[in-house]
Amino acid sequence: MQPHHTPAEAPLGEYTVTPPSAEKTLQWITVLSAAGMHYRLSHEDGAWRLHIPASQSAAALSEIQAFEEDENHPARPAKSRMYHHTSPATNRMANWTAFWTTYILSIFYISLGSFDAANPMHLAGAMSRTEFLQGEWWRGITALTLHSGLAHLMANALFLLFVGQAVIRELGRGLGLAMILAGGITGNYMASLTAPSYQRSVGASTACFAALGILCVMQAGHLYRRHRAWSTVWRITWIPIAGGIALLGLTGASPGSDIAAHLFGFFCGMLIALPAAYWSQRIHDISVAMQWALVIIAALLPAMAWFFAYLHA
């Protein structure tokens, strides 16, 4: 895979490279950081861009190209690769699973509409510290399916579409969805404990940043298995984490956003992913039936939560 570059759009003295996906963004950040090269990260027109000093552009592109060629070398033992390969069927599965997940989010929005504090159903589903501490556990789940408006929904759906499919490709449709949902729910619960009692939070962004945290830890896990020497491993495995934090800062700290929910979603996703990263070689042994069972659980949980919210409204 050759890096797409847009030198004409870069500021004077910079060379711009556009990774094809969020996963590739993290990988190329890792490559450049490991090589000691400088870069600047931005998010423009729905795509991540790496801005490299012109003096280092040739060397940076060479490093990225060498990494991609190394990844696609058929004779290289799979155990020594930095990132494992996936088949076209797995890629299609991940893309379609992420698509249907965002489609279901859209159905919730069409059914419920934009969040309205005067709507009893919306009030029963929004995340609120006071009500949660009084035992209304479902709010951490239902809040993920409520959005303040169409722009809010589209931002979360696009983020989840690109980052979510990378997580699902790593973990499978069932385990990937279940971990993203678990990170979003746990992040909502944790964020509510630090929020003012009057605040009501809605949106799938907590789950989006949980997916980013999961992806960062999985990428760090791949690096750990390749570089097991204690003298170097920690200098290398922190790079995807730092890249994820950079993406969190760029996309999760905009004015008016629930920064606490984004932070807790990201770090809860990281914590949830630690066992999966450690035992990642066993993930491929999970049966198709078990993956589908986890998909069903992930689908039924929001439905059950909204049933309780309906009874309470």
Q: Of the ranges 16-20, 31-35, 231-235, 287-291, which one carries the lowest mean pLDDT score?
A: 231-235
Token reading at 226: 């390749």
Q: Is the pLDDT of residue 67 over 60?
A: yes
Percent of the chain's residues with pLDDT above 70: 79
Domain boundaries in the chain?
A: 4-76, 88-312
User: What are the DSSP E strand ranges found in 75-171?
Assistant: 127-128
- Residue among 16, 6, 5, 33 at smallest CA distance from 219: 33
User: Which amino acid belongs to residue 228?
Assistant: R
Q: What is the pLDDT of residues 256-282, one digit of tens each?
A: 556 788 889 999 999 999 999 888 878
Token reading at 108: 């919730």
Q: Is the pLDDT of residue 310 over 80?
A: yes
Concatenated DSSP letters of 8-35? GGSPTTEEEEE-SSHHHHHHHHHHHHHT
Average pLDDT over residues 180-198: 90
Q: What is the pLDDT of residues 195-248, one digit of tens each?
A: 887 888 898 989 998 998 998 888 877 777 765 554 455 455 455 555 555 555
Mean pLDDT, rounded, of the chain: 81
Q: Given this chain, do its domains 4-76 and 88-312 carry the same CATH topology? A: no
For residue 134, which phi and psi values (nearest 5 degrees)? -90, 5
Q: What is the pLDDT of residues 149-179, one digit of tens each?
A: 898 899 889 888 888 998 999 899 999 999 9
Of residues 51 and 254, more confidence is placed in: 51
CA pair distance 308, 153, nearest whole angstrom? 23
For residue 141, which phi and psi values (nearest 5 degrees)? -95, -50
Secondary structure class of 41 (helix, strand, coil): strand
Q: What is the pLDDT of residue 302?
A: 95
Q: Of the ranges 97-101, 225-229, 290-294, which one carries the lowest mean pLDDT score?
A: 225-229
Average pLDDT over residues 42-65: 83
- Tracing tokens 């896990």 back to the chain, one arrives at 221
pTM of the model: 0.71
Q: What is the pLDDT of residue 79?
A: 40
Of residues 90 and 69, more confidence is placed in: 90
For residue 229, which phi and psi values (nearest 5 degrees)? -70, 125
Tell me which fold the domain 88-312 belongs to: Rhomboid-like fold (1.20.1540)
Q: What is the pLDDT of residue 12?
A: 57
CA pair distance 267, 277, nearest whole angstrom? 15
Residues 6+ apart with CB under 8 A from 118: none
CB-based contact 136:56 (threshold 8 Å): no
- Going by pLDDT thresholds of 50, 70 and 90, the confidence category of residue 6 is very low
Four-way CATH pick for 4-76: 3.90.75, 2.60.40, 1.10.8, 3.30.70: 3.30.70
CA pair distance 310, 313, nearest whole angstrom? 5
